[in-house]
Each structure stands twice: as structure tokens, then as C-alpha cells.
Amino acid sequence: MGNKCLDCTALTLTIIGAINWGLIGFFRFDLVAFLFGDMSWLSRVVYALVGLCGLYMLAFYRHCGRDI
């Protein structure tokens, strides 16, 4: 992972996505839909970005086996 800004942005969006899924699972409350509308173009962009960041975070698995 060479770009620290991209890494931090991807991690932040992934955490936001995880919190949103937790809210959906525990309380049936979709924060993204509440803020941006139910499947509006803006909420779809947020969902898409969170999904892409989740895929990007897969690259962090190669760091799991390294000694720190």
C-alpha cells in the first residue's frame, strides 16, 4: 500500500459501511438511506464507494502475517 491518503480514505469508508451494516442488522435502520434517500443516485454512489473500498481493503490481508 503506497498511497497513505487512499489507504485512510478507503479504511474510513469501509468503517462507515460496517457501522451502517451494524445499524441495519441490529435496528433495521439504514443510515445511508436516511441521509441521502432510499436508493437515490447519491446513496447508490455511497454504497458503490463503500463496496470498492471493501475490495481495496482485501490488500491489507497480506500484512496480517508480517511481524511488526
Tell if the pTM clears 0.85, that is, is over it. Answer: no
Pick from 25, 4, 6: which is nearest to 17 by CA?
25
- Output 16 or 1, whichever has higher pLDDT: 16
Q: Give domain limits for the chain.
A: 4-63
Contact present, 50 and 16 (Cβ < 8 Å)? yes
Pick from 12, 38, 36, 33: which is nearest to 23 by CA?
33
Contact present, 24 and 30 (Cβ < 8 Å)? yes
pLDDT tens per residue, range 4-55: 898 899 999 999 999 999 999 999 999 999 999 998 999 999 999 999 999 9
